[in-house]
Amino acid sequence: MDNNQTTLSNPTNNPEEITHKDVSKAYLRWHFANEIPHSFERYLAPSLLWAMMPVLRKLYKDDDKLRDAYERQLLFFNTQLTWGGGIITGLMSSMEQERAKQENEHKEITMTDDLMYNTKAGLMGALAGIGDSIDSGTIQYIFIAIAIPWAQNGNPLGSLFPFIGFALYQVLIGLFFARQGFSTGRNATSLMESAGVQNAIELLSILGLFMMGILAGNYVQVSSSLSFEISGRPFVLQETLDSIVPGLLPLVVVLGVYYYYSKKGLKVTRALLWLTGILIVLAAVGIL
Amino acid sequence: METLTVWQSLIIALWVGAVMSRSFLGGATLMLRFSPLMTGLVVGIVMGNVADAMIVTAAIQLIYMGVFSPGGTMPSEPSIAAAIAVPVALLGNLQPEAAIAIAVPVGLLGTYLYQFRFFINTFLGKRTDRAVAQLDHSGITRSVIIYPTIASLLLFVPLVFIALFWGAPVIADVIAALEGTVILHILEVVGGGLAAIGIATTIYVIGRKEYIVFFLAAYFMSVIFQDLGVTMVTYAIIGTLIAAIFVLAKSNTSAATTTNTPVTNEFDDDEDDDDF
């Protein structure tokens, strides 16, 4: 343990310059640590601290200042891996650098603890929402949807292709966001509101909804097996349905679950249990 | 009835432990956990029957289509589900649909295990506080990376091993007895319908109610073109183009109505306007 007090306010202990390489390293450390120490208390804060350690050690040569910086980055934190994690590791590197310079030059501290935490907290939820629905919800399933037919034919490529493709995508997009977050610095907040980023989010949200429609059409399979005879002529319910609106039943199921969420909130497990129960009953009595 | 050897059970259990501890390849464990595909492949390699394992895994993947973890609420653990359901299906020579009967309850139970991991990590977090107070850098690494990984392995590996080594043959017997009954038809129906959960969740999380027309358009497009064999890549390209055209048209009309002030990234202290 290095508690050497003689290093205090030593003039040669200027903060080192943070380079793009340092930011990339911080992001890769975040990318690795991400969910490992996930806890109820601080969620992903320990991962952010662990990611930022090398950057903070370059900036704060004084033990007390370094400890303060560690504690700043260990406050409650929860976001998504690449969008949130990327932008915020880059942004925190830039803000900590400004803070270290202000402390070192004994200037007035404008980069306060509150400002840093509020910036982080303001971005983490918003970016998690965008990042989850676009990365995990859309891009991951585009990869999986492409590969499913291979898996159905017994081809191991059906597993390897989406795994490798999505893993590479995430590292690259995360590094990109980390660098963006670092170079825009505090403007990252307004970066999110700029026309370019807003248009990109709009485009990806629409693509997400579009691909969900394609997935629903291909992979949600609900059809009626009900058939009986009406005055000697066979009546097959599914054929009648197909002649009115093809694909009606799967759509009803998807929109039904969506309607449930909009009434009851995002209760995924409960929706899963309800739907399973309803499908079991309808299948057992021969309607589906 | 065949059984799994000790080594087969152990390797699959270690794989699940590595994935669920989230330490094996770090962020890349995201799809390893959310999708049964890679776990199914590992099971196939371990059991020496990749082709059949892939077919069963594909059936399990369909019930988890669109599933991800918005805000940490995961309805199921697809990787754990596949680790148990695929071996059982292979041991009992079951229909892929029968694997769903095992995957759904096992996947649900798995979510409790994953929650328990957060609970353990909460205690390990106290060690992080101590290491930070003492500026013990390797102590921070131990408490953030090493201990949580070991804790997860200790949590998942023994349970999955027991379930595979002693449980799998028994479950396979029970499910095999159900074949040819109405139960299998029910499983087929449940398996076909459950993908709706993940898809509806994603639509809800994207949260753009006014854009649901894009979902509907794509849905009917894919139903109508079903027999044409249009690939997902083609659909993704079409979707991107439609979205791009819409965004272009929208920004042009807003440019025409309001005198479009170019958005500059000005330095301002206004941090509290991201409402969420």
- Which of A168-182, A235-249, B146-160, B260-274 shows the lowest mean pLDDT across its residues? B260-274
Whether the predicted pLDDT of A189 surpasses 70: no
Distance in angstroms (rounded) separating the CA atoms of residues B5 and B210: 55
Domain map (residue ranges) of chain A: 12-198, 227-284
Amino acid A12: pLDDT: 64
Amino acid B202: pLDDT: 83
Q: Which residues of A touch B41 (CB under 8 A)?
A: 156, 159-160
| Helices B96-133 and A63-72, axial angle in degrees (round to 10) | 150
∠ CA A140-A143-A144, rounded to 5°: 85
What count of residues does chain A have? 288
Give the DSSP letter string of A210-237: HHHHHHHHHH-------EEEETTEEEEH
Whether the predicted pLDDT of A92 surpasses 50: yes
Query: What Rg do the C-alpha atoms of chain A give, in angstroms?
Result: 26
Phi, psi of B153 (to 5 degrees): -65, -40
Whether the predicted pLDDT of A58 surpasses 70: yes
Which of A147, A209, A256 is nearest residue B214 as measured by Cβ atoms?
A: A209
Question: H helices of B64-136, where?
Answer: 78-91, 96-133
Whether the predicted pLDDT of A11 surpasses 70: no
Please name which of B52, B4, B49, B41 lies closest in space to residue B19, comparing C-alpha atoms.
B41
* B149 close contact with A: CB closer than 8 A: yes
Whether the predicted pLDDT of A219 surpasses 90: no
> Using the beta-carbon criterion (under 8 Å), do A213 and B216 form an inter-chain contact?
yes
* B138 close contact with A: CB closer than 8 A: no
* B32 close contact with A: CB closer than 8 A: yes
Contact assessment for residue B80 and residue B110, using Cβ atoms and an 8 Å cutoff? yes
**Residues 6+ positions from A214 with CB-CB distance below 8 Å:** A145, B218, B219, B221, B222, B232, B235, B239
Amino acid A13: pLDDT: 77
Q: Which residues of A touch B71 (CB under 8 A)?
A: 128, 132, 266
* B10 close contact with A: CB closer than 8 A: no
Q: Is A275 helix (H, G, I), strand (E, B) or coil?
A: helix
Amino acid B105: pLDDT: 85
Amino acid B183: pLDDT: 81
Distance in angstroms (rounded) separating the CA atoms of residues B194 and B189: 9
Residue B117, min C-alpha distance to chain A (Å): 8
Which of B189, B208, B237 should be substituted to probe chain A, the one whose Cβ sees the most A Cβ atoms within 10 Å? Answer: B189
Amino acid A190: pLDDT: 67
Whether the predicted pLDDT of A78 surpasses 60: yes
Please name which of B58, B47, B63, B65 lies closest in space to residue B101, comparing C-alpha atoms.
B63
Whether the predicted pLDDT of A173 surpasses 90: yes
pLDDT digit string, tens, across residues A15-52: 899 999 999 999 999 999 999 999 888 999 999 999 99
Contact assessment for residue A288 and residue A224, using Cβ atoms and an 8 Å cutoff? yes
Distance in angstroms (rounded) separating the CA atoms of residues A87 and A76: 17
**Torsion over CA: A161, A167, A173, A175 (sign):** negative
**Torsion over CA: B41, B43, B46, B51 (sign):** negative
The residue-averaged pLDDT of A99-106 equals 90
Q: Which residues of B touch A155 (CB under 8 A)?
A: 51, 54
Query: What Rg do the C-alpha atoms of chain B give, in angstroms?
Result: 24
* B132 close contact with A: CB closer than 8 A: yes
CA of A95: how far to CAs of A165, A182, B131, in Å?
33, 9, 24
Question: Which run of H or E residues covers position A264?
Answer: helix A248-264
Residue tagged 């629903």 (tokens): A216
Q: Is B56 helix (H, G, I), strand (E, B) or coil?
A: helix
* B50 close contact with A: CB closer than 8 A: yes
Distance in angstroms (rounded) separating the CA atoms of residues A190 and A184: 9
Distance in angstroms (rounded) separating the CA atoms of residues B148 and B29: 15
> Using the beta-carbon criterion (under 8 Å), do B74 and A268 form an inter-chain contact?
yes
Q: Which residues of B touch A41 (CB under 8 A)?
A: 122, 125
Amino acid B75: pLDDT: 72
Residue B191, min C-alpha distance to chain A (Å): 8
Q: Is B194 helix (H, G, I), strand (E, B) or coil?
A: coil
Amino acid B71: pLDDT: 58
| Residue A167: both structure tokens together | 């893993």
> Using the beta-carbon criterion (under 8 Å), do A247 and B220 form an inter-chain contact?
yes
Amino acid B140: pLDDT: 95
Amino acid A81: pLDDT: 93
Report, as ranges of residue numbers, the positions in chain B whose pLDDT lies below 70: 1, 70-74, 255-276
Distance in angstroms (rounded) separating the CA atoms of residues B81 and B66: 16
**Residues 6+ positions from B72 with CB-CB distance below 8 Å:** A43, A78
Which of A70, A77, A127, A207 should be substituted to probe chain B, the one whose Cβ sees the most B Cβ atoms within 10 Å? Answer: A207
CA of A188: how far to CAs of A56, A224, B73, B273, in Å?
20, 52, 28, 13
Whether the predicted pLDDT of A5 surpasses 50: no
Residue B208, min C-alpha distance to chain A (Å): 8
| Residue B216: both structure tokens together | 């509907």
Which of A71, A133, A210 is nearest residue B205 as measured by Cβ atoms?
A: A133
A residues 67..96 contacting B (CB < 8 A): 67, 70-71, 74, 78, 81-82
**Predicted structure pTM score:** 0.83
Contact assessment for residue B264 and residue A196, using Cβ atoms and an 8 Å cutoff? no
∠ CA B17-B87-B16, rounded to 5°: 10
Amino acid A188: pLDDT: 59
* Total CB pairs under 8 A between chain A and B: 417
> Using the beta-carbon criterion (under 8 Å), do B134 and A1 form an inter-chain contact?
yes
- Whether complex ipTM tops 0.90: no
| Residue B106: both structure tokens together | 């096992």
